[in-house]
Structure 1
Amino acid sequence: MTTTPRPPASLSPSRASDFMQCPLLYRFRVIDKLPEKPSEAATRGTLVHAVLERLFDDPATERTAPRARAMVPGQWNRLLESRPELAELFEEDSEGERLTRWLGEAERLVERWFTLEDPTRLEPAERELFVETELPSGLRLRGVIDRVDVAPTGEVRIVDYKTGKAPRPEYGEGALFQMKFYALVVWRLKGVVPRRLQLVYLGSGDVLTYDPVEADLLRVERKLHALWEAIEQATATGDWRPRPTKLCGWCDHQAFCPEFGGTPPVYPLTVRPADPGEEAQGRMDMVS
C-alpha cells in the first residue's frame, strides 16, 4: 500500500540531524520514503532499549544483571514478531553462529548498564515517552525520550541510552543536540527546564551529563526555526542537494544519489522557482 507524498509537517531529532547531515538524505527518508535495509547495529540498539525499558516492569529487587541478560532472547523474539523483516539480517546464517554472537553482544551491553546505573534505586516517571509540542511559530516538534526521572523535589532528568561509544570531546555538542531538543520540548510542554540531561553510552561505559539553562534552549529553538525554514524552502523548490561526507559509505540510497552517479526519483511534490538568495543550501549556513 502506497501513501500520497506530503510536505514535512513536524521535526524530530533524527530527522533534524538527517537534514543537517545531508538534505538529500532527508528528502529520501521523509518525502520519498525510500526503503532501507535493517542493520545489525541499529537493530541491536532497538533490542537493548527494549530490555532496559521492560526491566522496570519488575520489582526493584528483581532488576539484576542476570535477569536483564536472560530477557534478551525473549525480547528479540518479540521484536521479530512485530517486525518480521528483521529476520533477513541472519538469512544466510544457517548455523546460527552470527545470531548467537550478535545476541551475546546485546547481552554484554545490557550487563554494562549495571556498572553505570543502579536500577534498584530508580523508579522512572516515564519510559519510551512520546512528546510533541507546537511552538508559537507553528513549528511542531516531536520525539521519543528513553527515560524521564523526576526527583521528589520535582526536578526532571532526561536519560538516553546509546549502544555505541561516547564521541570525542570535539563532537560532544553534536551528541547533546538530541537531548537539548527533548529538553526544549519538555520546557515548552511543562514550563520546567529539565535539571539534567544524561547520555549513557553502553558501548564504552561512559555517562555524559549536561545541565541546561533557558538560554541553551532558546538557542536550540532559534536553530530549529532556521533549520525548518531551510526545509520548507527545499520542499517548495525541490532543491535537495547532497552533502558528501564520510558517512556516505553507509547510506542505503547511493543508487539514487548524484554523488554516486545515481538519479533521484521524480520529485513527488509541486515545486516553484527558488527566490534569489533563498536557496536551501544557502540557508544551511545558519544551522550547520
Structure 2
Amino acid sequence: MTTHVTLPSPAGDPSPTDGLSTPVDGVDVVGALSPSRVGDFLACPLLYRFRTIDHLPEPPSPDAVRGTVVHKVLEDLFDLPAAERTPDQAASMLEPAWAALQEVEPDLTAMFGEGGGEITSWLASCRAALDQYFRLEDPRYLEPAERELYVETLTDTGLLLRGFVDRLDIAADGSIRVVDYKSGRAPGEGWEGKALFQLKFYGLVIWRMRGVIPTRLQLMYLGSGEILSYDPDEDDLLATERKVEAVWRAIATARDSGDWRPRRSALCAWCAHQAVCPEFGGTPPPLPEQVTPAD
C-alpha cells in the first residue's frame, strides 16, 4: 500500500489564485475560498489575514495532528477487503500512520515535550477515536465512491470554491451522502448550524459540479461518538452560496482598505498569533505590497 500523508495547513496551500487573476477553464478567478478560510474570516478578519496573506507559521497541535492520523487510518481502511475492516485492523494501522507522518514532519514529537513522554497517552486518544468510529457505523458494509475527494467550482462572479471531502457515498439510485470525520467532540447546543456550514459548502460545490443535490450531509464526531446529519434542499444551498459571496465581498473590502480588524472571542485562547495581535498588545507585520487573498 502506498502511504501518503497530508498535514493540516492553516495558512493554506499554494493556490491557482495566488496571482491577481488566474484563468480557470477560460474564466478569470477573482479569488478562492474554502470552508476553513470562510470560518477564519467570520471568527476574526485579522486571523484570516495572518493565515492567507501573511502566511504566518503556526505550531502543530496534538488535536490537529490526531485528526490527521485518524483521517489517514479511516481513508486507508477502505483500501482493504470489506471483511478486514475491523477495529483491531484499524488499531494496527495507527502507529504506522503516525510513523509515516513523522517521516514527513520529524519535529512533530516536540509537541509532546521533552522526550515525547506524552505520546503514549496521545496514541491512546487516537485509538479511542477509532473505537468510537466503529460504534457509529460498520465499514464492512460500505463501499465509498470517493475518499479525500478534491472538489471545486466557480460561481457566476468568478469566485473559486474548493476543498477536500472526507468521503462521498453514492447509493444505487444515485443519491449522494457527504461524510466528514471530526476527531473532536460534537458542538454544544446552538452551534450545530456553524458546524454544518462546512458540509453545506461542500454540498453546494458538489451540486454545481455534478448537478445533483446531496441527499444527506453527515458529520461524525469521533471524540463523543455522535452523528450530526442534515438533508439539504436547493434553497439551503443557494443561501450558502449567498453567504459565501457576502463573505468574499467583505474580504475584498478589507483587502482594499487594509483594515483587517481583530475580533476578540473565546477562540483567542487557542490562537497562535497573540504576540502580533493588537488585542493582546502586539503589532501585526506590515502588509505585503500586493495583497491577494486566497484560501
Is TM (by shorter chain) over 0.5?
yes
Structure 1's 149 and 177: CA in aligned 2 closer, same or farther, altered over 3 A?
same
Can you list the C-alpha shifts for 1:63-96, whole angstroms capped at 9, x where unaligned?
A: 000000111000001111122332321351x2x5
Shift of residue 237, structure 1, vs aligned partner? 1.4
RMSD of the TM alignment (CA)?
1.5
Match among 151, 173, 176 for residue 171 of structure 2: 151
Can you list the C-alpha shifts for 1:162-187, whole angstroms capped at 9, x where unaligned?
A: 11111123111000000000000000
**Residue 73 of structure 1 corresponds to which residue in structure 2?**
95
**Residue 264 of structure 1 corresponds to which residue in structure 2?**
284
Match among 176, 193, 198 for residue 178 of structure 1: 198
**Residue 64 of structure 2 corresponds to which residue in structure 1?**
42
Identical-residue share of aligned pairs (%): 56
* Contact 2:181–2:220 (CA under 8 A) maintained in structure 1: yes
Alignment TM-score, normalising by the size of structure 2: 0.87
| Partner SS state of residue 170, structure 1 | coil
Structure 1: distance between partners of 2:46 and 2:181: 28
**Residue 215 of structure 1 corresponds to which residue in structure 2?**
235
* Contact 1:6–1:269 (CA under 8 A) maintained in structure 2: no
Structure 1: distance between partners of 2:107 and 2:252: 33
* Contact 1:6–1:31 (CA under 8 A) maintained in structure 2: no
Structure 2: distance between partners of 1:145 and 1:182: 7
Structure 2: distance between partners of 1:123 and 1:83: 31
Structure 1: distance between partners of 2:212 and 2:68: 29
* Contact 2:148–2:164 (CA under 8 A) maintained in structure 1: yes
Match among 107, 111, 127 for residue 147 of structure 2: 127
The number of aligned residues is 266
Structure 2: distance between partners of 1:246 and 1:228: 24
**Residue 246 of structure 1 corresponds to which residue in structure 2?**
266
Q: Does 1:114 align with 2:156?
A: no
Which structure has more RCO (C-alpha within 8 Å, separation ≥ 6)?
Answer: 2
**Residue 275 of structure 1 corresponds to which residue in structure 2?**
none
| Partner SS state of residue 184, structure 1 | helix
**Residue 11 of structure 1 corresponds to which residue in structure 2?**
33
- Runs of 4+ aligned structure 1 residues displaced above 4 Å come to 5-8
| Partner SS state of residue 279, structure 2 | helix
- The amino acid of 2:185's aligned partner reads K
Structure 2: distance between partners of 1:10 and 1:85: 31
Q: Does 1:229 align with 2:252?
A: no
- The amino acid of 1:16's aligned partner reads V
Structure 2: distance between partners of 1:123 and 1:219: 31
Structure 2: distance between partners of 1:225 and 1:64: 43
Which residues of structure 1 form unaligned runs of 5+?
272-288
Structure 2: distance between partners of 1:240 and 1:50: 35
Structure 2: distance between partners of 1:6 and 1:26: 18
* Contact 2:31–2:158 (CA under 8 A) maintained in structure 1: no
Which residues of structure 2 form unaligned runs of 5+?
1-13, 21-29
Structure 1: distance between partners of 2:86 and 2:209: 34
| Partner SS state of residue 246, structure 2 | helix
**Residue 31 of structure 1 corresponds to which residue in structure 2?**
53
**Residue 51 of structure 1 corresponds to which residue in structure 2?**
73
Structure 2: distance between partners of 1:258 and 1:6: 29
Can you list the C-alpha shifts for 1:13-56, whole angstroms capped at 9, x where unaligned?
A: 00000000000000000000000000001100111000000000
| Partner SS state of residue 284, structure 2 | coil
Structure 1: distance between partners of 2:113 and 2:226: 34
Alignment TM-score, normalising by the size of structure 1: 0.89
Structure 2: distance between partners of 1:243 and 1:18: 11
